[in-house]
């Protein structure tokens, strides 16, 4: 009888946990994620992510969390939580669960000042990264996809790592504190082509000939999120979003 009571308590706990909303963590990042006044989120990755949970009938609670903190929450399995728009790379696969892709980027672009002639001489992204005379601005703990990450590890370019958002990094490029940075085509279009950056006219971006295909973006969840939840999300992502 005691064992039956124990099992009943265990099952009740599981049911209670399953009904708790998952924390849907986001960090505002145009044009992927925008936050509205009522705490709803929209954007290239936010809209399909929110739709997946809604279509799968899985309750969520939107919460704004920095990207580095998201990594910590998921790595250390602190709660039932998912982050929006993450790349599925080996070191993350070991500590997280990933859904099917919610979005695929266009190829990454090189962003620099218009007068950065030594950057513009390069038509190959690999040779640009290998050019030790140029300084690259990168985001701390950020992945640029497997191929570019491999080039960064191979050539070990002169780089500065910062925790700033893209707007702050563009200001550093504009101020000549680094020669170039890498950015998604979507973000570069938002900030430079559409002039959402204050000095957009001083900057330019280009897709180089060997830029890898755009990276796939996923929902990345802590291992507290049951596999069954991931499967339910995958079913609606495959059927209704992509």
80 and 174: one domain? no
Determine, yes or no, domain membership for 77: yes
127 and 197: one domain? yes
Q: How far apart are CA 229 and CA 172, in angstroms?
A: 41
pLDDT digits (tens, 9 = 90+) for 157-183: 999 999 999 999 999 999 999 999 999
Q: Look up residue 79 and give its two tokens.
A: 């709660």
Mean pLDDT of 118-141: 97
Q: How far apart are CA 223 and CA 74, in angstroms?
A: 7
CATH number at residue 225: 3.40.190.10
Determine, yes or no, domain membership for 211: no
Roughly how many angstroms between the first and final C-alpha of the chain, as a whole number?
50
pLDDT digits (tens, 9 = 90+) for 35-92: 998 889 999 999 999 999 999 999 999 999 999 999 999 999 999 999 999 999 999 9
Q: Look up residue 241 and give its two tokens.
A: 């979003």
Determine, yes or no, domain membership for 235: yes
95 and 7: one domain? yes
Helices 227-236 and 46-55 sit at what angle, rounded to 10 degrees?
Answer: 110
185 and 117: one domain? yes
User: In which domain, by residue range, is 115 found?
Assistant: 109-206
The pTM assigned to this predicted structure is 0.85
């Amino acid at each position: 009888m005691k064992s039956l009571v124990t099992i009943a308590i265990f099952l009740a706990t599981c049911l209670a946990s399953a009904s708790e909303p998952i924390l849907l963590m986001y960090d505002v990042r145009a044009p992927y994620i925008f936050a509205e006044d009522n705490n709803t989120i929209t954007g290239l990755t936010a809209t399909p992510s929110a739709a997946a949970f809604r279509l799968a009938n899985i309750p969520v609670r939107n919460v704004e969390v920095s990207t580095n903190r998201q990594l910590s929450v998921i790595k250390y399995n602190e709660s039932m939580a998912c982050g929006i728009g993450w790349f599925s790379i080996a070191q993350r696969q070991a500590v997280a669960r990933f859904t099917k892709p919610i979005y695929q980027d266009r190829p990454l672009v090189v962003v620099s000042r218009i007068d950065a002639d030594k950057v513009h001489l390069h038509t190959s992204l690999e040779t640009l990264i290998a050019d030790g005379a140029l300084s690259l601005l990168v985001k701390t703990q950020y992945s640029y996809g497997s191929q570019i990450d491999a080039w960064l590890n191979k050539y070990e370019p002169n780089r500065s790592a910062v925790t700033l958002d893209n707007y702050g990094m563009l200001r550093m490029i504009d101020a000549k504190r680094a020669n170039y940075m890498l950015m998604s085509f979507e973000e570069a279009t938002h900030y430079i082509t559409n002039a959402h950056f204050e000095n957009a006219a001083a900057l330019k971006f280009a897709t180089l000939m060997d830029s890898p295909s755009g990276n796939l973006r996923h929902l990345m969840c802590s291992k507290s999120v049951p596999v069954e939840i991931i499967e339910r999300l995958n079913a609606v992502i495959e059927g209704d979003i992509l």
